[in-house]
A and B are shown apart, each in its own frame.
Chain A
Amino acid sequence: MKAKASFMLMAIVSLAVVRSVDAQDLGPQFQKVKEGIYVYVGKEFNSNCGVILTQEGVVLIDSGHNPTDSRAILNAIKKLTSMPVRFLIDTEPHPDHTTGHFVFSPPAIVIAHEGASESMRSRERESPDRIQKMMTVSPEMRAALEGYRFIPPHIEYRQKMTLNVRERTFELMYLKGVHSEADTAVWLAKEGVLFSASAVVVNQYNILRPFVTIPDILAAAKMMKGLNPEVVIPGHGIPGTVKIFEDSEQYYALLLDRVGKMVREGKSLDQIKNELKMPEYDGWASKERIPSNIEAAYKAVKGG
């Protein structure tokens, strides 16, 4: 009973000390998108991290691009509340969303879609010296990596899951074939806030791996638009509205149309890669990914 009483006291005290802090006070990369919901927007298309306060503690969406980001996020959380980070939801298992888990867990419980653990482990096996290399990037990175541990998810759900943390409800939805082996959209229905994972990005070509399909991306975008979100927070890029989905839909429609025409003209995949132009998207970043986009469109057109 002593432990319970002290926990209750802690909760009451914590509520009293949830601080009224402006996003600007947290640092230039923070945006407040709703009461108690902040986004740490990654620099130059680095991954985003959502910080969501509840009466029972903090829920994070992803853990920052690099451990330096994770440390900055932890510092901001300490300015916002004295409550612990209770849950960390991964929108995907790639290192630019998950390396910083160790900064938050323990105590945070890490949640991801089925397959996330295996994806993380296989990357660790492929590059066992990844962390050592990362340490050489800068003294700040070395300091941020102190105490690094590989933390795979505690909870791996299949298809759908609901997380209830006091006044907030998080609906987790698996997005199939959109980016990684285990993509999760996170929907806060009451707040009208949607974390769309890396299904769509903003002003940037997405990397479309061989298992990613454009029809699956379009289906995911349609499903997420159907939720009618007020705020859309992509895995990478500036948070916005459903326009993020609409822009992606327009891009993929145009890409499919042009690739389809060239296929009907009898052109090979290599010819299409050489000749296809998308001048409407000259301003988008990561142009080296255009070939993977053309390959995905070619597969979709060919029905393969």
Chain B
Amino acid sequence: MKIRAGSGLFCVLYFLLVSPNLSAQDLGPLFKRMKDGIYVYAGKPGESNCTIILTQEGVVLIDSGNNPTDSQAVMKAVKQLTSQPIRFLINTEPHADHTTGHFVFSPPAIIIAAAGAGQSMRQAYNPERMKKMMEEPGEMGAAAKGYRLITPHVEYRDQMTLNLGERTFQLYYLKNVHSEADTAIWLPKERVLFTAASVGVKRFNNLRPFVSIPDTLAAIKMMKALNPEIVIPGHGDPGTVKILDDMERYYNSLMARVKQMAQQGKSLDEIKKELRIPGTEDWEGKDRFPNNIEAAYRAVKGS
């Protein structure tokens, strides 16, 4: 009973004394405060985002930063914000630029991901890469020290709800949008949506052979229907539902144009050479445009 009374007292003290009234600027230039208790560490251009969400029962992280240096910066910010532990870390995808930093937070954090994430991480694990990273002089080597591959504790299928303190997190598996195990996270009370890497911001997404544009459009439609106020993509600046609208418009144009050209008898190679989508001139990741066309071609041809 002593422990329980102590933990109650701790919570009270936490809210009265410890919970600091910090602005995002106090945390560092890469942090943005999206809502009360919700801070995004917005990665440098092209890098992944990581979000800190405070609750009365501890911290929930969304992804763990692009690199261990980012993870350490996030950990430092968490310590500035609260003395509560990081209880859960939700992966929007299993790729290394979202998961390498798990070891910084777990234990004690419990890692949650969609089914298949553990296998994807084990398959992609490259001990040489990590050895090199740990041996790097300077900041990166120091940040990577103590690295261990930490795979998810919880792998859900389809949907899952996480309840922690006053917050509810609804997890939705997004099929065939980016990786082997993509998760959108919806905070209905706060109306904050994490879209994973199903959409980018002014950036062509990397559409691997198993990624399907119809599945991505279905995911966008589902996420738009949630009516989010704030949309936080896996990569790129957080914004509003416009992020989803822009990507929907792009994929619809791409599909329409590829369909038209295929109907004109053009081959995939010809389409790749000729096709331009107006409005994407300033988008990043142009090297990925050919695989976008391939995905549209697959969809048009029904394969």
Contacts and interface: CB of A to CB of B under 8 A. Distances in A.
Interface of A: 1, 4, 7, 11, 56, 86, 106, 109, 111, 114, 117, 146-147, 152-165
Given A162-B155, A164-B155, A155 B162 contact: yes
B155 A161 contact: yes
A165 B118 CA distance: 12
A160 B157 CA distance: 6
A106 B161 contact: no
Contacts of B87: 109
Contacts of A1: 146
Nearest to B161: A156
Interface string B189-231: 0000000000000000000000000000000000000000000
Interface stretch (B94-102, B107-115, B256-264): B107-115
Contacts of A156: 160-161, 163
Nearest to A161: B156
Contact of A158 (B151, B153, B157): B157
A157 B156 contact: yes
A147 B112 CA distance: 30
A159 B161 CA distance: 12
Interface of B: 1, 4, 7, 57, 87, 107-108, 110, 112, 115, 118, 146, 151-164
Contacts of B108: 7
Kindly list the 5 A-B residue pairs having the minimum CB-CB distance in the complex, ordered from nearest. A158-B159, A162-B155, A156-B161, A160-B157, A147-B4
Nearest to B157: A160
B78 to A, nearest CB: 12
Contact of B162 (A7, A11, A154): A154
B94 to A, nearest CB: 13
Contacts of A152: 163
A164 B116 CA distance: 12
A40 B302 CA distance: 56
Contact of A161 (B1, B107, B110, B154): B154
A161 B160 contact: yes
A109 B156 contact: no
A163 B161 contact: no
A158 B161 CA distance: 9
A7 B4 CA distance: 21
13 contacts: A86-B110, A109-B87, A114-B161, A152-B163, A156-B163, A158-B158, A158-B160, A161-B154, A161-B155, A161-B160, A163-B154, A164-B118, A164-B153
Contacts of A106: 7, 57
Given A7-B107, A106-B7, A152-B163, A159 B1 contact: no
B153 A161 contact: no
Given A158-B156, A158-B157, A164 B151 contact: yes
Contact of A165 (B1, B7, B153, B159): B153
